[in-house]
Amino acid sequence: MTGRLSTLAAAFVIARRDFTAILFSRSFFFFLLGPLFPILVGGLAGGIGQEVKNNAARPELGVAMSAADAKALLAARQRLEPQLGSAIPELVVVKETRPGEAFDAAAAMQDRRVNLAAVVTGSLEKPLLSGPKERIAAWRGPVAVLAAEAQRAGGTDYPAVDLAPVKLATTADEARSRMVTAQLGQTVLFLLTMLLAGMVLSNLVEEKGNKIIEVLAAAIPMDAVFLGKLFAMLAVSFVGITVWAGVGGAVWLGAGGSLGQFPAPAVGWPLFFILGVAYFAMSYLLLGSLFLAIGSLAATVREVQTLSMPVTMLQLVNFFFASWAMARPGSAAELAAMIVPFSSPFAMLARAAQSEALLPHVLALAWQAVCVVVFVRVGATLFRRWVMKSGPAQSAGKGPWQRLGARLFSRRAVR
């Protein structure tokens, strides 16, 4: 015979099974690939957009001059480009004219085979710029500079100018920058939490379908089943995040990126990451335990969707509330966002980006941990009360909401 398992040991048995089962499943593979799809689609759309922008937004300046003038103008542009960059237009020689030959600039600009915004004719000494009024007004100066440079024929040496960037941020600038970091952190936290809470719910419904849940409930306390499932999914998510962060970080660093490009959070990057992981865990455990309680009400995946929709919406409201409160540091709204369990992780992560104080984080994490324990216990109790029943189906044919109502308002004599 064997020895009795403690609740934690029993939760470990469940977590170990779920963790390995999920890790080696196809769904985890797709879970890992999850962020790739928006990146791919975004990249593709961005690439196409850039191409279109390049083609449409960078019109060229046509040159219709004598061969010598046109050549000198092109050479001048080449010399000036390192100094002036996009301030000077792209040049396209549309025609090398003979002396005294007239050129129809309007006709050239209407030719759809080229993308001419204006045309310069005449000579280097007396250039004539033809085109829409705004365009020629904007290019008047650059054309004059190009013509002058062309006449000088490269005689001028431009001195190299050394650059010394200086960061001069005001307090307001710094606060605004940190707000960006806070907002980014909140959004990532919210998306990850919703993704995982949905997964843990599907996992539970699947087990109800497999009829395994009764075997589990008979062997170990339901609290242990819930805890095991929650922590297994949390561990899976950490694996996923590690892979995403590893690959994403490598690509980012490979592309010459660095964290310095983002506004640094008030507590510093290392602590911000640690707090991010802690708040992610708490946010997920809070929402996951709520979703597990919902799982106890639902008999099918469709019912899960029906019942979880309002909770998802409510979580969205919490997220917006925390985001809104973030912009009002020190206000009652921020305090409320930090206390309400479901918005607390978002609000606190935003605070980590904006304020150096650490004690509020210790208190918030302790408070959130207490809420997790309470939610898991309540969820487990509801599960045992509502799921493990047999005999005639009293509620058969009722929808999930009717069933919820019947269960909540029926008279019960509980020991």
Tokens at 356, concatenated: 């150096």
According to the binding rule CB under 8 A, does residue 293 interact with another protein?
no
CB nearer to another protein: pick between 312 and 395: 395
Pattern 371-410, binding to another protein, x per CB under 8 A? -------------xx--xxxxx-xx----------xx--x
Q: 71-90: buried (b, 16+ CB within 10 Å) or exposed (e) per residue?
A: ebbbebbebbeeeeeeebbe
According to the binding rule CB under 8 A, does residue 299 interact with another protein?
no
Tokens at 5, concatenated: 């398992």
Which of residues 80, 220, 348, 372 is near another protein by CB under 8 A?
220
Residues 6 or more apart whose CB falls under 8 angstroms from that of 302 comprise none
Cα dihedral 16, 20, 22, 26, rounded to 10, equals -170
Q: Kindly state the smallest distance separating residue 20's Cβ from another protein, in Å.
A: 10
The DSSP call for residue 58 is S
CB nearer to another protein: pick between 359 and 414: 414
CB nearer to another protein: pick between 166 and 408: 408
Q: Give the binding-site size for another protein (rule: CB under 8 A).
A: 41
Q: Kindly state the smallest distance separating residue 385's Cβ from another protein, in Å.
A: 7
Q: Tell me which residue of 239, 220, 296, 241 sits closest to 12, measured CA to CA.
A: 220
- How are strands ordered across the β-sheet holding 60-65? 90-96, 60-65, 116-122, 127-130
Q: Kindly state the smallest distance separating residue 12's Cβ from another protein, in Å.
A: 9
Q: Kindly state the smallest distance separating residue 34's Cβ from another protein, in Å.
A: 21
Q: Kindly state the smallest distance separating residue 215's Cβ from another protein, in Å.
A: 6
Contact 121, 97 (CB under 8 A): yes
The secondary structure of 194-234 as a DSSP string is HHHHHHHHHHHHHHHHHT-HHHHHHHS-HHHHHHHHHHHHH
According to the binding rule CB under 8 A, does residue 17 interact with another protein?
yes
CB nearer to another protein: pick between 269 and 401: 401
Range in contact with another protein (rule: CB under 8 A) among 62-70, 153-161, 207-215, 362-370: 207-215
According to the binding rule CB under 8 A, does residue 414 interact with another protein?
yes
According to the binding rule CB under 8 A, does residue 297 interact with another protein?
no
Q: Residue 139 class from Cβ within 10 Å (0-12 exposed, 13-18 middle, 19+ buried)?
A: buried
Q: Kindly state the smallest distance separating residue 24's Cβ from another protein, in Å.
A: 8
According to the binding rule CB under 8 A, does residue 16 interact with another protein?
yes
Contact 168, 154 (CB under 8 A): no
Alpha-carbon span 89 to 382, nearest angstrom: 71
Alpha-carbon span 216 to 229, nearest angstrom: 12
According to the binding rule CB under 8 A, does residue 221 interact with another protein?
yes
According to the binding rule CB under 8 A, does residue 25 interact with another protein?
yes
Which of residues 213, 227, 267, 348 is near another protein by CB under 8 A?
213
Q: Kindly state the smallest distance separating residue 217's Cβ from another protein, in Å.
A: 5
Tokens at 38, concatenated: 């928006």
According to the binding rule CB under 8 A, does residue 369 interact with another protein?
no
According to the binding rule CB under 8 A, does residue 95 interact with another protein?
no
Residues 6 or more apart whose CB falls under 8 angstroms from that of 12 comprise 228
Helix, strand, or coil (residue 85): helix
CB nearer to another protein: pick between 208 and 361: 208
Alpha-carbon span 73 to 124, nearest angstrom: 8
CB nearer to another protein: pick between 129 and 380: 380
CB nearer to another protein: pick between 20 and 83: 20
C-alpha triplet 347, 36, 286: angle, nearest 5°: 30
Which of residues 13, 145, 184, 271 is near another protein by CB under 8 A?
13
Q: Kindly state the smallest distance separating residue 414's Cβ from another protein, in Å.
A: 6
Which residues contribute to the site for another protein (CB under 8 A)? 1-5, 9-10, 13, 16-17, 21, 25, 210-221, 384-385, 388-392, 394-395, 406-407, 410-415
